[in-house]
Amino acid sequence: MAAIPGSRRKSEGEIEYEKLLERQKRTATGARLEQLNKQAEGERKLLTEIIWPVRHSFEGIVLEKEFITLTGVKAYIDAYEEIFHFGFEGEGYVSHAENITRPRFDFEKMRIRSMGALGILYVPFTFDEMDKKPDLCQRTLYELYGKFGGGFASPRNPPVLTPYEKEVIRYSLWLARPIRLSDACECLLLGKDASRNVMKSLVEKGLLRPTSQGLQRTHVYELTNQAFLYGRGAYKSSAAATTAAGIIKPE
């Protein structure tokens, strides 16, 4: 059967998001079900283009999580991370800024304060950020999982690094810019050939990538998201956080 002109194959994240949404719709009732039926492009982009590439799983994600605010009113979170209590939201400029009324603005701020009181870390992304800077949004999640999640989003079998390789990652994070071969020589106190071999090994392990392409020999590299997570100590084990009080279980 010929493909429909202009159509494209759905990504794994899109397929899993649709399954998650339908699965949670089947068990939801009332206002939460209404919220699930309203999930649109912003929520889809948040789940499939930001969260999925980092976690590669929607396990522990609750869509339209219902909770009670400090004023006793029900409110909802676009995507709630049950294990580490992250409240992910995708916000469009028109609905969340340009056309917002004063009462709605007040409610939104009270809703955010309520999340904090319940131990939920509010993590918003704008639609434009997700659309134009997805790598930056994903990097934020790697940072959060590295700091709070104990590496939950990291690979199950992280690469084994030599002391030299660990030092290159640490030094690159400290530099806060792409690392040059000369930088590696300086931090490792090794010659060019030995330092180049360390960099090459990190590229093969998916922790560094060259910033230039072509036939010329590469001398400048940048950390991948995986290396950024590794460098923040995300592969260290940590106990799961306890459930925040006041959170309503999905209906």
Q: What was the pLDDT predicted at 234?
A: 39
56 and 122 in a single domain? The answer is yes
Q: Identity (one letter) of the amino acid at 39?
A: Q
From residue 196, alpha-carbon distances to 65, 187, 189, 210 in Å are 49, 13, 12, 12
Using alpha carbons only, how large is the chain's radius of gyration in Å?
21
Q: Is the pLDDT of residue 228 over 70?
A: no
Q: What was the pLDDT predicted at 28?
A: 94
Q: What was the pLDDT predicted at 184?
A: 93
Q: Identity (one letter) of the amino acid at 207?
A: L
Let me know if residue 227 belongs to a domain. Answer: yes
Let me know if residue 250 belongs to a domain. Answer: no
**Sheet bearing 220-223, strands edge to edge:** 179-180, 220-223, 208-210
136 and 191 in a single domain? The answer is no
141 and 172 in a single domain? The answer is no
134 and 203 in a single domain? The answer is no
Number of independent structural domains in the chain: 2
- Tens digits of residue pLDDT in 23-38: 999 999 999 999 999 9
Q: What was the pLDDT predicted at 83?
A: 78
Q: What was the pLDDT predicted at 227?
A: 74
pLDDT band at 155 (very low <50, low <70, confident <90, very high): very low
For residue 193, what is the domain's CATH number? 1.10.10.10
Q: What is the mean pLDDT of residues 125-143?
A: 92
Q: Is the pLDDT of residue 147 over 90?
A: no
Quick count: other Cβ atoms within 10 Å of Cβ 201? 17
From residue 219, alpha-carbon distances to 47, 177, 202, 215 in Å are 36, 13, 14, 12
- The mean pLDDT value of the chain amounts to 81
Q: What was the pLDDT predicted at 37?
A: 94
191 and 87 in a single domain? The answer is no
Residue by residue, DSSP assigns 5-16 as TT--PPPHHHHH
Which pTM does this prediction carry? 0.60
* pLDDT > 70 in the chain, percent: 77
137 and 168 in a single domain? The answer is no
Let me know if residue 242 belongs to a domain. Answer: no
Owning domain of residue 113: 12-148
Least confident of 32-46, 65-79, 119-133, 223-237: 223-237
Q: What was the pLDDT predicted at 55?
A: 85
